Amino acid sequence: MKFKDIVNRDIVNLENCEDEAIHIPGLIQPQGFLLSINNKSKIVNVCSENIGSFLGIDYKSILGQEIDKFFKFNILGHLNELNQGSPGQKITFSEECFGSSFAFTIHESGDNIVFEGEKSLVGPDKEAGLYNSSKKLLSYIEDTNNLKDLCNSVAIAIKDITDYDRVMIYKFDKEYNGEVYAESKENHLEPFLGLHYPHTDIPRQARELYTKNLLRIIGDVKYQPVKLYTYAESKLETLNLSLSVLRSVSPIHLQYLENMGVGATLTVSLIHKGKLWGLIACHHYSPKYLSQEVRNSVKLHGHFITSQIDVRILNEQYEVSGQVNKHVDSLVSHDLAFDRSSIKKMFQHDSIYRLSNSDGVAALIGGDFYFRGLVPERHIVERYSEVLKENSDYPHMVAISDMPRIYNQKSEDFTMFPGALFHVLDSENYIIWFRVPTVQTITWAGDPKKSIEKDKNGLSPRKSFESYVQNVKDTSKPWLIPEINAAQKFKVFLQNLVRSIITNEDKERQRILSEHLKAVNTELDNISWISTHDLQEPLRKIRMMASVLLENKEKYNVSEILVNRIGRMAKSAERMQTLVKNILQYNQTNTALEKFEEINSYNLMLEVQEEIKDNLLDHEATLHIDKKLPKIYGIPFLLRQCLLNVINNSLKFKNNKRDVVIEIFNDLEDEKSDLYSVIALKDNGIGFDKEHNEKIFKIFGRLHSVSEYEGTGIGLAFCKKIMLKHNGLIRAEGIKDVGATIRLYFPKTK
């Protein structure tokens, strides 16, 4: 029979350790032996080279043989138990063989069953120890409040049980950067508590193994790995040791441990909701092995921690929640006036940023910039708001802890404050809480400068820290739910306060405005007076004098040229007079306070038609009045004036190439016809350019020169005013050379 080892000889170094196939090294640690059998044939297909030193038989004599030939105990019974259990399960048992007591661990690996045997190590009073430690565990539930305290207690307990020099509990963040969360150690050792490690310290595939194989032990960092052998006919190339206890670990990892001066380790995975939450890492500064029982006890402690995570996190959140809410309460309990001084007052308390455990807060409210604590400069705060507003979902808030990573391609402004908790108050106002980078807030238990750095070329905690800093650069501590909630709570309060302030300010503004308006109205009345009398008077006289001369040409010897000039003069004075008269009318619309009546607009239209029939005849104009004109509410004399003005406009701007036809109809097609009764007056005159749709309603907004078309430019402005008085509106639509359509909109309800 031919034999060969299955050692994986790929070279591993720091550059490629991310890809190292650590689950199939083909090597084990020397503190035990390993053999594997084909699950069907029960023939041994892998055996460690060192089996002789434990059992006194050569691996060559076992390979290729059925396993029960070698062991006296009922090996098949254990196999049955394994096969009946759930996949991935491990079974441990102790059996006497070849004169010694061994602790066996068996598990499935592909088609194979892997047997690992270690000499049983029994502590002097293990039973009592385990009992005591279990009892202690229960007491921790009562004695500790938060997760950290609990982890601390557990670390102390594990140190007690195992006698490792240092017991640490690591906790990973969501990117698997690690932090030493709790620690118990020999006094002379330097503390690692609070040290941070980058996720690269534990490569991905190692993490995967941690989730499968919950306990790993390295008895002696300087161990000589033992090769695994198979026989040629087995066709076996590799043996997956993912679940193996004795699996030889990555040389990179051993180097790392050696750099720290560590002699032996025990690692227990802390799995929470299927993810690697943390590790219990025990370090000893000389070789150290543990009995199965003690290992199991450590595992139990691990389970205990993970079972408590949810509860403790809730507890912690509750604690945080209590803290931050205290800040919110202290802010909102102030007696605040509804003016801007209140906002200023609030920004004088540190609570305003401590309520979300942030480092500072800034807000833009009503054009004023408020801040407290550490915040970026105003223009940078505004950049935050611009960027975050775009990306905020309902209800307009964003909690982000890595601004620079996400948005720095746009600008470099965000590195100082990677954490931002952004709340929109309304369309213009907002508040942002800021956090500085995590690196600045890391607490070091010891002096980081004294941290171990034995090998300049290898890994060490010190180097790890630098690397960690790189990893967490541009991030801040993540925003916790209670912090976000507290901010939310405060935001709602602030929002209401701001609204009240704005309402108050509006009221005040309105008061000033209405006073102003009163003054203006009084002034306007005076102007009306002036326009009726003082302005009319001289104009009338000019015309009168002119007419005296024109009507008595012979008597006063007035020449033809004078007649012409005086005629023009009189005409100008007349125009001015009309203008003044119209202005007066326009202003009187304001003061008309008549009550609205129900009006049949068809009848009203007929009345208007009757009133101007001579004028229509002169212009050879026809009105087509739709019988279905709507019922409207309004002041008849004003509406008559409005309709007259619109029709007069059509007559004035008629197209000389054709007779005037004005269609007057109930426009049910109009987009606003759901809310308004719409009376449309459509003519076939000269029309106007679209761009003037608005302009023609401006007072004195004439589109044509006086010589082209007479008019004071008040007509349509007057109409607009009348429609406003009716809570309606007027719109014009023109097509040059085709005609104009004026639409009058009356609200359907009174």
Partner 1 sequence: MNKYSVFYIEDDEDDMLIFEDALLSIPEYNEQSVKLYICENGYNFLKFIEKDEAENKIVFLDINMPAKSGFDYLRELRTDQNLKNLPVVTYSTSYDRNFINKSRELGANYYAIKPSKFGDLTKLISKAIRIDFDRETAPPNDFIFNLLVQ
- Could you say which of 253, 284, 543, 725 contacts partner 1 (CB under 8 A)? 543
Relative orientation angle of helices 481-529 and 292-332, to the nearest 10 degrees: 20
Q: How many CA within 13 A on the CB side of residue 410? A: 12
For residue 629, the 8-state DSSP code is P
Instruction: State the minimum distance, in angstroms, from the CB of residue 628 to partner 1.
Output: 34
The H-or-E segment that residue 548 falls in is helix 536-551
Among 132, 495, 532, 673, binds partner 1 (CB under 8 A): 532
553 touching partner 1, by CB under 8 A: no
Whose Cβ is closer to partner 1: residue 2's or residue 613's?
Answer: 613
CA distance 330 to 326: 6
CA atoms of 159 and 434, how far apart (whole Å): 40
Smallest distance, partner 1 to C-beta of residue 715, A: 19
Size of the site for partner 1 (CB under 8 A): 19
Specify the stretch interacting with partner 1 by CB under 8 A; choose among 72-80, 421-429, 471-479, 533-541. Answer: 533-541
Q: What is the smallest separation between the CB atom of 543 and partner 1, expressed in angstroms? A: 4
Among 190, 551, 694, 737, the residue binding partner 1 under the rule CB under 8 A is 551
> Would you say 274 and 57 are in contact if contact means Cβ atoms under 8 Å apart?
no
Choose one: 176-184, 364-372, 481-489, 570-578; the region binding partner 1 (CB under 8 A).
Answer: 570-578
% helix, strand, coil for the chain, step of 5: 45, 20, 35
As measured in angstroms, the least distance from the Cβ of 645 to partner 1 is 18
Q: Min. distance of Cβ 335 from partner 1 in angstroms?
A: 55
Considering only the stretches 136-144, 193-201, 259-267, 538-546, report the one whose residues sit in contact with partner 1 under the rule CB under 8 A: 538-546
Name the one range near partner 1 by CB under 8 A: 47-55, 548-556, 685-693, 718-726.
548-556
- For 432-462, b/e burial (b = at least 16 CB within 10 A) is bbbbbbbbeebeeeeeeeebeeeeeeebbbb
Which member of 58, 143, 537, 737 binds partner 1 (CB under 8 A)? 537
Of 392 and 589, CB closest to partner 1 = 589
Q: Smallest distance, Å, CB 528 to partner 1?
A: 9
Question: Does 607 participate in binding partner 1 (rule CB under 8 A)?
Answer: no
Q: Which is nearer to partner 1, 323 or 531 (CB)?
A: 531
The minimum distance between CB 571 and partner 1, in angstroms, equals 11
126 or 553: CB nearest partner 1 = 553
Quote the least distance from Cβ 608 to partner 1, whole Å: 19
> Is residue 69 involved in binding partner 1 (CB under 8 A)?
no
By CB under 8 A, residue 552 contacts partner 1: yes
Q: Whole-number minimum distance, CB 699 to partner 1, in Å?
A: 21
* 548 touches partner 1 by CB under 8 A: yes
Measured distance CA(87)–CA(109) in Å, rounded: 10
The contacts of residue 86 (CB under 8 Å, 6+ apart) are none
Residue 575 CB, shortest distance to partner 1, in Å, is 12
CB 430 within 8 A of CB 389: yes
Nearer to partner 1, 10 or 537 (CB): 537
**Would you give the end-to-end CA distance of the chain in angstroms?**
109
Q: Which stretch binds partner 1 (CB under 8 A): 421-429, 485-493, 512-520, 543-551?
A: 543-551
Q: How far is CA 713 from CA 148, 555, 691, in A?
A: 83, 39, 18
Identify the residue among 540, 565, 571, 631 touching partner 1 (CB under 8 A). Answer: 540
Smallest gap from residue 345 Cβ to partner 1 (A): 56
In contact, 151 and 158? CB cutoff 8 Å: no
Cβ 635 to partner 1 shortest distance, Å: 15
Are the CB atoms for 14 and 255 separated by under 8 Å? Answer: no
| Cβ nearer to partner 1, comparing 96 with 710 | 710
Q: How far apart are CA 583 and CA 634, in angstroms?
A: 22
Piece of the chain touching partner 1 by CB under 8 A; list 102-110, 402-410, 544-552, 740-748: 544-552
Rounded to the nearest angstrom, the gap between the alpha carbon of residue 625 and the centroid of all alpha carbons in its chain is 60
Q: Which amino acid is at 178?
A: G
> Contact 185/167 with Cβ under 8 angstroms?
yes
Query: Tokens standing for 9?
Result: 């000889």
| Separation CA 423–CA 495 (nearest Å) | 10
Should residue 76 be labelled a site residue for partner 1 when binding is judged by CB under 8 A? no
CA dihedral 449, 454, 458, 463 (to 10 degrees): -10
User: What is the three-class DSSP state of 298?
Assistant: helix
Q: What span, in angstroms and rounded, lies between the C-alpha atoms of 145 and 519?
A: 70
Residues 6+ apart with CB under 8 A from 143: 149, 153
Pairing of strands 215-218, 226-231: unpaired
Examine residue 149 and tell whether it contacts partner 1 (CB under 8 A).
Answer: no
The two tokens of residue 565 are 């000039």
- Kindly state the DSSP code that residue 43 receives in the 8-state scheme: B
Q: How far is the CB of 589 from partner 1 (least distance, A)?
A: 13
With binding defined as CB under 8 A, does residue 524 bind partner 1? Answer: no
Question: Least separation, in Å, of the C-beta of 395 and partner 1?
Answer: 58
| Residue pair 18/239 in contact by the 8 Å Cβ criterion | no
Residues in contact with 320: Cβ distance below 8 Å, sequence separation at least 6, in sequence order: 357, 480, 482, 483
- Kindly state whether residue 544 participates in binding partner 1, applying the rule CB under 8 A: yes
The reply to whether 547 sits near partner 1 by the rule CB under 8 A is: yes
Residue 610 binding partner 1, by CB under 8 A: no
Q: Give dist(CA 355, CA 333) in Å, integer.
A: 14
Q: Which of 536, 572, 587, 609 is in the footprint of partner 1 by CB under 8 A?
A: 536
Angle between helices 147-162 and 292-332 (to 10 degrees): 160
Q: Which residues contact 501 (CB under 8 A, 6 or more apart)?
A: 338, 339, 340, 342, 343, 366
Nearest to 528 by CA among 453, 589, 438: 589
Only one of the segments 104-112, 502-510, 519-527, 545-553 lies at the binding site for partner 1 (rule: CB under 8 A); that segment is 545-553
Region from 236-244, 431-439, 506-514, 539-547 binding partner 1, contact rule CB under 8 A: 539-547
Whichever of 337 and 548 has its CB closer to partner 1, that residue is: 548
* CA dihedral for 393, 397, 402, 408, sign (positive or negative): positive
SS3 assignment, position 604: helix
To the nearest whole angstrom, how small is the minimum distance from the Cβ of residue 532 to partner 1? Answer: 5
| Minimum distance of partner 1 from residue 722's CB (angstroms) | 18
User: Would you say 487 or 573 has its CB closer to partner 1?
Assistant: 573
Per CB under 8 A, 533 contacts partner 1: yes
- Select from 242-250, 323-331, 529-537, 647-655 the region that touches partner 1 (CB under 8 A): 529-537
Q: How far is the CB of 553 from partner 1 (least distance, A)?
A: 12
Q: Which residue has the tokens 């006094």?
A: 187
CB atoms within 10 A of CB 101: 12
- Site map (CB under 8 A) of partner 1, residues 571-590, x = contact: --xx--x---x---------
541 part of the interface to partner 1, by CB under 8 A: yes
List of residues contacting partner 1 (CB under 8 A): 532-533, 536-537, 539-541, 543-545, 547-548, 550-552, 573-574, 577, 581
